[in-house]
Structure 1
Amino acid sequence: MSTVHANYIDGQWNESESGDTFEVRNPANTDEVVGQYQSSTRADVETAIDAAVAAQDEWADTPGPSRGQILKETGNRLAARKDEATETLVREEGKTRSEAAGEVQRAIDIFAYYAEKARDLGGTSKAPSAPGKDLYTKPEPLGTVGLITPWNYPIAIPAWKLAPALATGNTLIIKPASEAPNVTRIVFECLDEARLPDGVANFVTGSGSEVGAPLASNDDIDAVSFTGSTEVGTTVAQTAADDLKRVQCEMGGKNPTVVMPSADIDNAVDIVGVGAFGTTGQSCTACSRAIVHEDVADEFVDAITDYAESLEVGPGLEDPDMGPHVSRSELESTLEYVDVAREDGATVRTGGGEPDGDGYDGFFVEPTVVTDVESEMRIAQEEVFGPVLAVITVGDFEEALAVANDVEYGLSASIVTQDLTEANQFVEDVEAGVAKVNEKTTGLELHVPFGGYKNSSTNTYREQGDAGLDFFTSTKTVYMNY
């Protein structure tokens, strides 16, 4: 019998007033129910918002170093439970054990980073235009914020929203994705053990319509931070704009890696392969398009095909090269895109189906390489969110750059080249919030800004680093005539 997990509201673990729950199954073994969670209602969300609003003033008045100490202790307690959190993440989301352990460590590091940042919060001092005066700024918390997080990084993304929100003195309500809520719940157990005051942070599970929508529309919510699909993020942003809430949405991607003739092909294959097939392609920064110069296209395609065929696919707990999709719907979506690519005239060079044999009792898919792709095809334009790489052949650098920019998204982009002029021109002209040279499109440093251009973002505030603090604060300018 699986455990029934509660919401965390006003410092207490409570069941939803609905009395209903939903279950989460292991995507590598659908017979295994790994947990049951509250099917919360709008009334539950309103109770959580009321608790957060009531705790606002006291938490905002808590000195930054004291807030930081709670974050530090939270990270320490999470570190002590790293193995448990890692296995939980694998069983719910499907990542390989190595990928999950890396993500949990990322969350631990984020809490440590913002714990120190909380000690250093402050404004700037400016020179006044007359004697006997001071002129300075001070950051202030926004108030109560709503956080809506996705299933593909179910502990790292909640951490990089929770930690800066708390460090800057905000209270909050978080709605984790229903596919994988348990690692966020573990974070809340750590926050509770670190003696976070009641009401400051609240955890409510349930559907987007019952939990997510009220966070975007409730008048007592001062800001919303969302990560997920462009379709849902657009709705969240439009809803939040009705009462001028501050909003931050990081959404989809169709990320390219350009491979030029000067590239070492083995290195290029490693860069593209990890970017395309790591985390089963279920990353907003995954490499979805390899844009390859015609002089090295045949060599690259042969090598990336061998790379894909060499990958071991299996249950994440066995730590293969690639785990399953998170759900049946995600698997079906990926398979549908492969069919669409064939219909549009592309060639499935390898993969494109579900693997055969024993041990594939979940949502497994083969790493897939698609060639003969033209930029206008759907497989080259739409986010697949699976381990499917579209290879587009180009004649020169200018065409490569044009193809890289020929999508509605602009999240992450990379180039593999030994030509410094190409590298600098790519960084200058690529339409992406993250530009990389001789690196994979995935993988982010936690102390620098992250966000996209075009339909990858609301193009308001970035996440992580100091930018994460900026989103959760408002600047007050002070004129002091003494």
Structure 2
Amino acid sequence: MSTIAETKTYLNYVNGVWQASSSSEVVPSYNPANKNELVGSVQSSTKADLDKVVDVAKKGQKTWKNLSGTERGNYLFKMAQILEDNLNDIAETLTREMGKTLAEAKGETSRGVAILRYYAGEGMREIGGVIPASDSSALMYSKRVPLGVVGVITPWNFPVAIPIWKMAPALIYGNAVILKPATEAAVTAAKVMECFDQAGLPDGVINLITGKGSVIGQGLAEHKDVNAVTFTGSNNVGNNIGQTVAGRGGKYQLEMGGKNPIIVADDCDIDLAVDAAISGGLKSTGQKCTCSSRVIVQSSIYAEFKEKLLEKVKDIKVGNGLDGTTWMGPCSSESQYKTVRGYITKGIEEGAELILGGDTPESTDLKDGFYVNPTIFDGVSSSMTIAQEEIFGPVLALMKVETVKEAIELANDVEFGLSASIFTKNIDYILTFIDDIEAGLVRINSETAGVELQAPFGGMKASSSQSREQGQAAKEFFTTTKTVFIKG
């Protein structure tokens, strides 16, 4: 078994310096593909550590906001290049710590590079506009200005892309950033921050602090000098953070759960729909907020769709994500593994028919990992737990309907509204689906998972606080508007 002495202990990154926590305690991070392999350790920080980080961020932001957008953009371009130069190392760490396949980890890191370059370019775009004044001798205009210090709280499932798609716009619009990553993926976050350290941003502008969510995450939400908090994670935690930040007059952004449906109409390309259900529902071991969780199929093609789905899913190879032939890795942790197995048990108890999977791989090579085989339930009704709650695992729930109208009603019969897709060639179905589906991301003849970095992203209902991330929509959250009236 690895020991802490044999692997690196990562420090917090504060004011341009790597520092240990005042608690002197560290938290180990193990490989979910091999629970005996220690990937690294991170700091268990205290409230006093957080206060120090907020103080330096507040000071650093005063310098950062006075740089031009072009100057800030040049730093982001540099960050992107350094991250790209270290892509393979970052991706391998991500796979070892979180379990995602190496191909997906490389794709995610490449996306982080692209996001940085996109927002670097935003530094040269307009940040306001001229407004006609009632006084013909006056000039009136609006300009967007930074919020100040932004707390960034991120999950374990995309430990490179999600922090970057929050930090990059926060930085380009003149804010200082404090990143609090999920402990389960904090080693990866620290390695990304090591790349950013090399870019030479002014001290205090970008900071990393690791520790318990109840201490550091809640501390960011409560701190009077943290002007805004952007969060991605569970609904319970997110709603608490939103209420806390709002209670003190701060700005907050929440991206939370999903129970995303894919509707399969009887006129569609069935093979295309099957591939999308598999890719959208099972890749990343189903650990995406936009994964396809419910597959709603019209009755006339239900048997054919199910047969083809089972045939293809049976060929999926589960294993260590570092193995180039593996299609699906382990659950991210023992806790997540137990959660997924619990939902599978619940599905059986409530009367759904388990037609594939639900167990762990038989290979002795995988005995020390948190693996769950791809799982498919048939005969699922909307009242069942597996049709209502986010599982965050490789579990597909098949549901049969007679009409597309019934399918849309069933798709909307959950508290979430993040992503949804339909497979059909019928323009009437498509237009009805676009208008009636209660989701922030609507996809036609494409899997539910998949987000374009240049487009607004966010959900409806309980999936979101209604704000949008990515693209130019990020400007709405990370800035506030100042109106200027000038009269000579």
TM-score range, shorter chain: over 0.9
1:448 maps to 455
Look up the equivalent residue of 1:442 and give its one-letter code. Answer: A
Matched residues in 2 for 1:344 and 1:306: separation?
Answer: 26
2:377 maps to 370
1:276 maps to 281
| Structure 1 position 129 matched with structure 2 position 134 | yes
Look up the equivalent residue of 1:470 and give its one-letter code. Answer: E
Selected match of 2:156 from 134, 148, 151: 151
After superposition, the C-alpha distances for 1:116-149 in whole angstroms (9 at most, x for unaligned) are 1012242011222331121210010001110100
1:325 maps to 331
SS in 2 for 1:236: helix
| Structure 1 position 388 matched with structure 2 position 395 | yes
Look up the equivalent residue of 2:259 and give its one-letter code. Answer: K
| Structure 1 position 117 matched with structure 2 position 122 | yes
Gaps of 5+ in 1: none
Matched residues in 1 for 2:312 and 2:246: separation?
Answer: 46
Scaled by the length of structure 2, the TM-score of the pair is 0.98
1:348 maps to 354
Divergent runs of 4+, >6 A? none
1:34 maps to 39
Matched residues in 2 for 1:80 and 1:302: separation?
Answer: 45
Matched residues in 2 for 1:103 and 1:72: separation?
Answer: 18
Matched residues in 1 for 2:151 and 2:19: separation?
Answer: 19
SS in 2 for 1:359: helix
1:194 maps to 199
Q: Which runs of structure 2 are paired with 1:212-231 in the superposition (5 Å)?
A: 212-231=217-236
SS in 1 for 2:433: helix
**Count of paired positions:** 481
Matched residues in 1 for 2:426 and 2:127: separation?
Answer: 43
Matched residues in 2 for 1:74 and 1:368: separation?
Answer: 40
Residues 64, 121 of structure 1: 8 Å contact kept? no
| Structure 1 position 94 matched with structure 2 position 109 | no
Residues 5, 37 of structure 1: 8 Å contact kept? yes
Matched residues in 1 for 2:38 and 2:103: separation?
Answer: 22
Scaled by the length of structure 1, the TM-score of the pair is 0.99
Residues 39, 187 of structure 2: 8 Å contact kept? no
Selected match of 2:477 from 459, 471, 475: 471
SS in 1 for 2:74: helix
Shift of 1:183: 2.5
Look up the equivalent residue of 2:404 and give its one-letter code. Answer: F
After superposition, the C-alpha distances for 1:42-70 in whole angstroms (9 at most, x for unaligned) are 11111100000111211111111110000
After superposition, the C-alpha distances for 1:202-253 in whole angstroms (9 at most, x for unaligned) are 1001110111110000000100000001111011101111111110000000
After superposition, the C-alpha distances for 1:440-459 in whole angstroms (9 at most, x for unaligned) are 00011000100000000111
Matched residues in 2 for 1:168 and 1:282: separation?
Answer: 31
Residues 308, 369 of structure 1: 8 Å contact kept? no
Residues 257, 290 of structure 1: 8 Å contact kept? yes
Greater alpha carbon shift after TM alignment, 126-135 vs 235-244: 126-135
| Structure 1 position 6 matched with structure 2 position 20 | no
Selected match of 1:247 from 243, 252, 265: 252
Shift of 1:308: 1.6
Q: Relative to structure 1, is the Cα distance of residues 121 and 359 closer, same or farther in structure 2, using a 3 angstrom cutoff?
A: farther
Greater alpha carbon shift after TM alignment, 403-412 vs 184-193: 184-193
| Structure 1 position 180 matched with structure 2 position 185 | yes
1:400 maps to 407
Matched residues in 2 for 1:159 and 1:121: separation?
Answer: 22
Matched residues in 2 for 1:190 and 1:85: separation?
Answer: 9
Shift of 1:182: 2.3
Matched residues in 2 for 1:264 and 1:200: separation?
Answer: 50
Matched residues in 2 for 1:59 and 1:256: separation?
Answer: 43
Matched residues in 2 for 1:210 and 1:288: separation?
Answer: 32
2:80 maps to 75
Gaps of 5+ in 2: 1-5
Matched residues in 2 for 1:347 and 1:125: separation?
Answer: 62
Matched residues in 2 for 1:228 and 1:100: separation?
Answer: 19
Matched residues in 2 for 1:209 and 1:346: separation?
Answer: 36
Shift of 1:181: 1.3
2:342 maps to 336
Selected match of 2:53 from 48, 55, 64: 48
Residues 80, 116 of structure 2: 8 Å contact kept? yes
SS in 2 for 1:180: helix
Matched residues in 2 for 1:416 and 1:382: separation?
Answer: 23
After superposition, the C-alpha distances for 1:164-189 in whole angstroms (9 at most, x for unaligned) are 00000001211001001122222222
Matched residues in 1 for 2:339 and 2:309: separation?
Answer: 23
Matched residues in 2 for 1:294 and 1:480: separation?
Answer: 66
Shift of 1:113: 0.4
SS in 1 for 2:305: helix
Using the aligned pairs only, state the percent identity. 44
